[in-house]
Structure 1
Amino acid sequence: METVSKARAHGGTQGVYKHDAQTTGCPMTFAVFVPPQAEKGPVPVLWYLSGLTCTHANVMDKGEYRKAAADHGVIVVAPDTSPRGPGIPDEEGNWQFGSGAGFYLDATEAPYAKNYKMWSYVTEELPALIAQEFPADLSRQGIFGHSMGGHGALTIALTYPERFKSCSAFAPIAQPSTAGWSKPAFEKYLGSDPAAWRAHDATALIEDGKRFPEILVDQGTADSFLQDGLRPWLLEEACKKAGIALTLNMREGYDHSYYFISTFMADHIAWAAARLK
Structure 2
Amino acid sequence: MFKVQSEIYQFNGKLLKLQHESKLTNTPMDVNVYFPNKTGKLPILLYLSGLTCTPNNATEKSFLQYFASKYGFAVIFPDTSPRGANIQGEDDSWDFGTGAGFYVDATEEPWKNHYNMYSYVHKELQQELAKQFDNLDFDNISILGHSMGGYGALAGFLKNPGQYKSVSAFAPISNPSNCPWGEKNFGNYLGSDKSKWLEYDPTHLIKSYKGDNQPDILIHQGKADGFYAKDHQLQPENFVEATEASDYKGKVLLNVVEGYDHSYFFISSFVEDHVKHHIKYLGL
TM-score by length of 2: 0.94
Partners of 1:89 and 1:98 within 8 A in 2: no
Partners of 1:174 and 1:232 within 8 A in 2: yes
Distance in 1 (alpha carbons) for counterparts of 2:88 and 2:276: 39
Correspondence for 2:246: 242
Q: After TM superposition, list the pairs within 5 Å mapping 1:106-185 onto structure 2.
A: 106-134=105-133, 135-185=135-185
Distance in 2 (alpha carbons) for counterparts of 1:88 and 1:271: 40
Correspondence for 2:3: 2
**Matching residue within 257, 260, 275 for 1:254:** 260
Correspondence for 1:12: 13
Correspondence for 1:103: 102
- What is the deviation of 1:139? 1.1
Residue 76 of structure 2: SS of its match in structure 1? strand
Change (3 A) 1:63 1:216: same
Distance in 2 (alpha carbons) for counterparts of 1:149 and 1:210: 23
Partners of 2:85 and 2:114 within 8 A in 1: no
Partners of 1:45 and 1:138 within 8 A in 2: yes
Distance in 2 (alpha carbons) for counterparts of 1:128 and 1:201: 25
Deviates most, 46-55 or 234-243: 234-243
- What is the deviation of 1:69? 0.8
Residue 6 of structure 1: SS of its match in structure 2? strand
Moved over 3 A (4+): 88-91, 208-213
Q: How many residues align?
A: 275
Distance in 2 (alpha carbons) for counterparts of 1:29 and 1:35: 20
Distance in 1 (alpha carbons) for counterparts of 2:90 and 2:108: 15
Amino acid at match of 1:79: P
Amino acid at match of 2:91: E
Distance in 2 (alpha carbons) for counterparts of 1:199 and 1:210: 15
**Matching residue within 230, 233, 242 for 2:234:** 230
Partners of 2:142 and 2:166 within 8 A in 1: yes
Partners of 2:210 and 2:247 within 8 A in 1: no
Residue 177 of structure 1: SS of its match in structure 2? helix
Residue 233 of structure 2: SS of its match in structure 1? helix
Partners of 2:208 and 2:246 within 8 A in 1: no
Deviates most, 5-14 or 75-84: 5-14
Residue 29 of structure 2: SS of its match in structure 1? strand
Partners of 1:198 and 1:204 within 8 A in 2: yes
Q: CA RMSD in A?
A: 1.2
| 1:36-58, Cα deviation, whole Å (9 max, x unpaired) | 12xx2111011000000111011
TM-score by length of 1: 0.96
Correspondence for 1:216: 218
| 1:181-206, Cα deviation, whole Å (9 max, x unpaired) | 22111011001011011111001112
Amino acid at match of 2:110: P
